[in-house]
Structure 1
Amino acid sequence: MRDVYLVGAGQTPFGAFPDRSYRDLFAEAYRAACDGVDHGIDAADVDEAVVGTLGVGGRQLGLSGPAVTEHVGLHNVPCSRVENACAAGGFAVRNAVQAIKSGFADVVVAGGYEVMTDLSDDVTKYWLGVSGETEWERLTGTTFSGVYAQMASAYMTEYEATTEDLSRVAVKNHANGATNPKAHLDFTCSLEDAVEAPTVADPLTLYHCCPTSDGAAVAILASEDVVGEYTNDRVRIAGVGAGSERVGLAERDSYTGISASQVAAETAYERAGVTPDDLDFAEVHDCFAIAELIAYEDLGFCEPGAAPGLLRDGTTEPDGDLPVNTSGGLKSKGHPIGATGTGQLVEAFEQLTGRAGDRQLENPQYGLTHNVGGSGGASVVHVLERERAADETGVAG
């Protein structure tokens, strides 16, 4: 099967935008992605489009994919919608990769969007809750913060982790987000701020929870046969993996790991021919602070129970051995559900092509993105590789 390359990626700022529509946001992200293509691209080049969205609030429930792609001139391009809760954007990219690898398309637009801040808190909780186990979680009053609080309590009990360990996630990601002009919560916080913030669902405080956000993100992918027409920066989608798990937390074997993420990561590493030790950075799904700790272990960064140590010793800081969530993550950058997974690819593209500004890491080659739906019912992992040019390595990339 053919190799697939990320030739352009862009996003809107994530935040609260009461005067903007979902079509307007998608159009901005699409233009940003096109602007990032070295040699340019237009609608006539695109063979297919995939759009991820939950459809929060009930806007354009049917044909929501074509509703946004027609707005950017892709009305003659086949378009489908992906809904996998918070992993919708990541699965949109996976579907684009599959379309290119299969030979059905050479150039595919994969994007995602969500408008979440124009609803009341009660209605927003309803729409978020439908991505959990409907009968035994949402209809009995459990929110996602409550579900992740159960995961946090189980983890803290099993591994003797502390509230300070959860809070270090917030401190790190807010510091990273403060350098990201697209971040929703672009301010720093102290360990004391995070520990002493109001409780949302014990043991999770306000600073352990990501915001609900508006925004859109778009990635443009091309086959190995045509990539040279569009870019000089060879960012290869080296490996993709996905997994699914029981939707309800009570139905699972463990509260301290997400098997869908474990399967997705193992598959992505195998297909990319790498191990976690080869990674230079990662964007992981930190909808709640406990989710980042669990991700470290599910993705093979450390053994079970060892995740707090990576935070304590600075391993996942920007100057550490494995920087995590240089964008600010969901915690600081924001979480417009359908755009989140594709937005992770935007950060990876910018890091691997040297376009990350104040967040730029030194000469990264491999990056990983990890996007989870619900409390772990679906997960998708992408491993991306910057292929070195001949003038950098002495041999053709």
Structure 2
Amino acid sequence: MTEAYLIGAGQSDFGSFPDESYRSLFATAYGAAHDSVPNGIEAAEIDEAYVGTLGVGGRQLGLPGPAVTEHVGLDGVPCTRVENACAASGYAVRQAVTAIKAGMADVVLAGGVEVMTDVSGDAVRFWLGVSGETEWERLSGTTFAGVYAQMASAHMDEHGTTAEHLSHVAVKNHANGAKNPHAQLGFECSLEDAMSAPTVADPLTLYHCCPTTDGAACVLLASEDVVEEFTDDRIRVAGVGAASDAVGLFQRDTYTSVPASREAAQRAYAMAGVAPEDLDFAEVHDCFAIAELMAYEDLGLCEPGEAGEFVASGATAIDGELPVNTSGGLKSKGHPIGATGAGQVVEAFKQLSGAAGGRQLDDPRIGLTHNVGGSGGAAVVHVFEREEGGSSGGPSDRGARGSENGGGAA
């Protein structure tokens, strides 16, 4: 089976953009990804596309993938829309890797887009709710904040996790997001800010919850047969793991873990031939602060029950032993549902290619991304490895590269 490599990645700003559309946001992300390919790329060289989106607010429920890829000039490129709630574009990346490994494509675009802020708060909650269990959760009035609050309460009862531990997640991620020019909430917050903020769903305060967000992200991948045409710096997709579980929290055996995350991580580690201690950084799904703490445990970054002390120790800070969410995470960077998973891969690409600016880590080699759908009905994990000593490639036999294409760049 051929290997898959990251050759480019980019995103739009994440935030609230009343003058933008899902097409224009995607065009910005695609343009940034296009421009990040070291040796250049043309639209004609892309064989396949996968686009993740939930379609919050009801826009273009059918064929949103072709709508955005056609808009950026990928005429004739087969495009598949992927919907797996908040894990939509994480799964789109997985599908892109699968297409390359299966030999169906040499160059694939994987991305995602969402516009969430142009409808009322009630409408947003409705659209978010459709990713939960409909009959017994959403229609009974349960929100995702309420579901994750149940998880937080259970974790506190079982493991002694505290509100201060939850708040350390917010402080860390805001500190990182303040260094990210694309972040929606690009400002720092104090421990007191996070702990004393208004309660959203006890024990979660406002600072323990991610915002609703507009944005897009795109990733370009290539097979080992053609990667040297596009870059001399080889970032391999070393491992991929995915898993599904019961959609409703009440249907699971545990409230203090996301079993799908555990299973996806084990599969990704096994494929990559690495262990958690081999990681140099991770981007994890922190839609709520408790989600990040559970991710530490589910991904094997610490033992079960130790996540609170793990974050409080500074281990996951940008200068800690294992930096987590250097982008600011969903909490600070933002959470445009369909774009979130691909956005995590954008950060991995930037870190591994040395392009993360003020939040750049010191010579990272192996990174992980972890994307969850709903409250844990789906999860996908990718492990990326920067290979040493990549050689430069010769002239392309797939046509000239480096000219302008149809994508708008930011």
Return the TM-score normalized by structure 2. Answer: 0.95
**Corresponding residue for residue 155 of structure 1:** 155
**Corresponding residue for residue 405 of structure 2:** none
Deviations 1:164-210 (A, max 9, x none): 00000000000000000000000110000000000000000000000
**Corresponding residue for residue 263 of structure 1:** 263
Write the letter of the residue equivalent to 2:40.
G
**Corresponding residue for residue 69 of structure 1:** 69
**Corresponding residue for residue 92 of structure 1:** 92
Equivalent positions of 1:311-390 (< 5 A) are 311-389=311-389
**Corresponding residue for residue 188 of structure 2:** 188
CA separation in 2, counterparts of 1:160 and 1:308?
A: 8
Write the letter of the residue equivalent to 1:290.
I
CA separation in 2, counterparts of 1:11 and 1:310?
A: 30
Kept in 1, the 8 Å contact 2:241–2:380? The answer is: yes
CA separation in 1, counterparts of 2:28 and 2:211?
A: 21
Deviation at 1:41, TM superposition (A): 0.5
CA separation in 2, counterparts of 1:42 and 1:137?
A: 46
Deviation at 1:310, TM superposition (A): 1.2
Kept in 1, the 8 Å contact 2:233–2:390? The answer is: no
Deviation at 1:390, TM superposition (A): 6.2
1:131 aligns with 2:131: yes
Kept in 1, the 8 Å contact 2:195–2:205? The answer is: yes
CA separation in 2, counterparts of 1:195 and 1:260?
A: 30
Deviation at 1:312, TM superposition (A): 1.5
Equivalent positions of 1:237-316 (< 5 A) are 237-316=237-316
State the superposition RMSD in angstroms: 0.7
CA separation in 1, counterparts of 2:75 and 2:206?
A: 42
CA separation in 1, counterparts of 2:157 and 2:18?
A: 42
Instruction: Report the secondary structure of 2:338's partner residue.
Output: helix
Deviation at 1:146, TM superposition (A): 0.2
CA separation in 2, counterparts of 1:251 and 1:111?
A: 31
Equivalent positions of 1:78-227 (< 5 A) are 78-227=78-227
**Corresponding residue for residue 8 of structure 2:** 8
Instruction: Report the secondary structure of 1:70's partner residue.
Output: helix
CA separation in 2, counterparts of 1:334 and 1:114?
A: 11
Write the letter of the residue equivalent to 1:66.
P
Instruction: Report the secondary structure of 2:370's partner residue.
Output: strand
CA separation in 1, counterparts of 2:264 and 2:292?
A: 16
Moved more, 382-391 or 72-81: 382-391
How many residue pairs get aligned? The number is 391
Deviations 1:90-147 (A, max 9, x none): 0000000000000000000000000000010000000000000001000000000000
Structure 1 vs Structure 2: percent identity of aligned residues? 72
Deviation at 1:308, TM superposition (A): 1.0
Instruction: Report the secondary structure of 1:140's partner residue.
Output: coil
Kept in 1, the 8 Å contact 2:46–2:108? The answer is: yes
CA separation in 2, counterparts of 1:365 and 1:177?
A: 22
**Corresponding residue for residue 394 of structure 1:** none
Runs of 4+ with >3 A deviation: none
Write the letter of the residue equivalent to 1:57.
G
Deviation at 1:349, TM superposition (A): 0.2
Return the TM-score normalized by structure 1. Answer: 0.98
CA separation in 2, counterparts of 1:142 and 1:183?
A: 28
Write the letter of the residue equivalent to 2:116.
M
Deviations 1:308-338 (A, max 9, x none): 1211211100111100000000000000000
Write the letter of the residue equivalent to 2:170.
A
CA separation in 2, counterparts of 1:236 and 1:29?
A: 21
CA separation in 1, counterparts of 2:333 and 2:219?
A: 18
Gapped regions of structure 1 (runs ≥ 5): 392-397
CA separation in 2, counterparts of 1:60 and 1:162?
A: 42
**Corresponding residue for residue 395 of structure 2:** none
Deviation at 1:373, TM superposition (A): 0.2
Gapped regions of structure 2 (runs ≥ 5): 392-410
Kept in 1, the 8 Å contact 2:232–2:390? The answer is: no
CA separation in 1, counterparts of 2:266 and 2:361?
A: 25
Instruction: Report the secondary structure of 1:8's partner residue.
Output: strand
Deviations 1:33-68 (A, max 9, x none): 010001111111010000000000111101111000
Deviation at 1:75, TM superposition (A): 2.1
Write the letter of the residue equivalent to 1:305.
G
CA separation in 1, counterparts of 2:73 and 2:312?
A: 49
CA separation in 2, counterparts of 1:124 and 1:390?
A: 46
